[in-house]
A and B are shown apart, each in its own frame.
Chain A
Amino acid sequence: MKRLRFVSILFCFLISSVFLAAQQRGFEEEMRFANYLIGKSLYPEAIDVLSGMDTTGMSPEQKDVFFYTMGWAAYQFKQLELAEVSLMKVSAQSEEYRKSRAFAAYTLAHRGHYTRAEAIYRTVPAQDSVEAELIRMQHAGLALLQKQYQRYDSLRKGFNYSSYLFQQEEAKLDKFYSEMLAHKNKSPFLAGLYSAVIPGAGKWYAGKKKQAIAAFLPVASLGAVAYEAYRKGGVKSARFIVFGSIFSLFYIGNIWGSALSVNVERNEFNREYENKILFNMHIPLRNLYNQ
C-alpha cells in the first residue's frame, strides 16, 4: 500500500513536470517560430502568431520577451500604434527596456503625439553620455517638430557632434532649424490682394512661379479680349457679355487660387521638414540600439 502511494505520488510529479516543461517548450517554440517569421520578413504572420498567445500564464521574463518581439514586429510592419502599446509593456527589468521605450516614443512622435513622446523619452534611463546625448537629440527633434525654436536652441547647446552614431544627424537638425527660422509664413490675404492687382502675382508671392505665369496668361488674354469687345460693341454686345463673364470667372478664380496656394505651400513646407526631422531622429536610434 505504501509502495503504491509512493509510486502514485512519483507518477503525479512526473506528469506535472512534463506538463510544465511542455508549457515552457510551448512558449519557447512559439517565440522561436515568431522570430523565424520575422527573420523571413513575414511580419503580419508573426503578429498573428503572437496575437494568438495567451499572456496570462507567462512569467514576467516571458512577458518582456513577448511584448518586445510583438512590438518590434509591429514596428517593422509600420503598425505604429500596436508597436507603441507592446513596447511600452516591456518592463524595466528587461535588457531591451531602453530600446523599447526609445522606439515607443519615436512611434508616438511619428504619429504626431509629441507631448507623450517627450514624456516617454524622459523615462529612458541613459546608460552613458552617448545615450544621454541621443535622448537630448530626440528632445531637440521634438522641439523642432513643434516649432519651439527657443527650446531647440537651448537643447542643441548640449550637442557634442562627436559621436559617429549621430553627429551627421545633429548637424542636419541644426540646418533644418536655420532653414525653418528663415522661412517666412506668407499671408493668404496679401496673396489675394496681389493677384487682384496683377493676376498671378499672388502665386509668385507664394513661391509658385510657374503657376503664376500659368494664371497670368489666360486672365490677361481674356481681359484684353473683353476690353476690346466692350470698346467696339459696348456693354450689351454678346461678345462682351461672353468674354466678360469668362474673364470674371478666371479673375476671381485667380484670386482664390492665390490665397489657397499660400496654405498649400505652407503645408508642403511643414510636411517636408517634418519628414526630414523624423528621418534624422530615427537613424541614430537604429545606429545605437541595433548595434
Chain B
Amino acid sequence: MKIKSFLTCIFLCAIFTTSRAQESDWLKEGDRLMQQGDYFHASVCYERVLFEGGNNAALLFNAVTGKLNCLKAEKKFAEADRFLKGILIPDFSNEQKFFLAEQRMLCAYLAGQFENCISQADLMKILFPSEYKSNLAAILRVLSYNELQQWKEAEQAWKEWAAAVDSMGLQNPYQNLPKFKSEEKAERLATFIPGAGQFYAGRPVEALIGILFQAAGVYYGVTSFLNHYYLSAWAGAGIFGSFHMGGVRRSKALVRGYNKKKMAAFNAMVRAQMTGK
C-alpha cells in the first residue's frame, strides 16, 4: 500500500512540476542569449514565455521587456511599436502599463512616426492622469512637434514641460527659431542671377564654379558669333543654358539640405536643454 501511494505521488509530481519550470527556463535562456547579442533567438524564447501565458504577471512583464529590448537593440523600432500595440495582458500593474506606454511612444519617435508619438503622448495623459509625470513623454512631444515643424504646438508643449520642472534660468528656445531659407527664393535668385542661388544657400565655392562655367558658355557663344560661327554660338548658348538650369535645381537642393541641418541642430539643442545632456 505504502509503495503504491509513493509511486503514485512520484508519477503525479513528475507531470506537474515540469510545466511550471519551463516558463522561467525560457526566460533565463532568453536573457542569456540577449546578453550574448543573439537577439533573434532571445526573441523566440521571450515569445515562448508569452505564448505559454499563465498568470505570472512578473514573468510575462519580463518577457515583454526582454523582447522589447531585443527589438530596440536591432533598431527595429517600428516592429517594437507594433509588438507593444499587440500586448493585451490586463494583469500588469499601472506602473508596468505606464512603462510600456512610455516605451511605445519612444519607439514611435525613433521609428520616425512623429504623429503617432504625439498621439501616444496625448493618450498617456488620459490613461494615466495621476502617474503622468513622464519627463520622457514631454520631451518626445516637443521633439516630435519640432520634426513636424509645428512651432506653435512645439512651443506650447515646451512651456508645459518647463512649468512642470524647475525652469529657473531656462531660456525659451522658440523665441529664437532657426531661420530657414526659402527654396522658392533660391530658385528665383538662381534663375535671374547666375550663382546667386548657391550664394544664398551658403555655398560660395559652388556658386563661383557655376558662374565660371556659365561665363565660359557665354564667352564662347559671343566670340563664336563675332567670328561668324553662328551654330557654335548656339552651342555656347546651350552650355550656358545647361549649367544655368542645373544651377537652379542645385540651389533648391542646397537650401533643402541647409534647412535640414538647421532643423537637426535646433532639435539637438532643445533635446540637450530638456534632458540636461
Contacts and interface: CB of A to CB of B under 8 A. Distances in A.
Given A33-B48, A42-B47, A239 B232 contact: yes
A4 B229 CA distance: 121
B128 interface: no
B192 interface: no
B230 A36 contact: no
A156 to B, nearest CB: 44
Question: Which of B43, B228, B229, B231 has most chain A Cβ within 10 Å?
Answer: B231
B7 A44 contact: no
B47 A228 contact: no
Interface string B64-108: 000000000000000000000010000000000000000000000
A239 B11 contact: no
B220 to A, nearest CB: 10
Interface string A35-70: 011001010110011000000000000000000000
Contacts of A92: none
A226 to B, nearest CB: 9
A14 B11 contact: yes
Given A18-B15, A42-B47, A11 B7 contact: yes
A228 B41 contact: no
A49 B232 contact: no
| Size category of the binding interface on chain B | 20 to 34
Nearest to B11: A14
Contacts of B14: 18
B38 to A, nearest CB: 11
Interface string A66-110: 000000000000000000000000000000000000000000000
A228 B231 CA distance: 7
A221 to B, nearest CB: 6
B72 to A, nearest CB: 17
Given A7-B4, A7-B7, A221-B238, A37 B47 contact: yes
Contacts of B238: 221
18 contacts: A7-B4, A15-B11, A22-B18, A33-B51, A36-B51, A40-B47, A44-B40, A45-B40, A45-B47, A49-B44, A221-B231, A222-B235, A224-B234, A225-B231, A225-B235, A228-B231, A228-B232, A239-B229
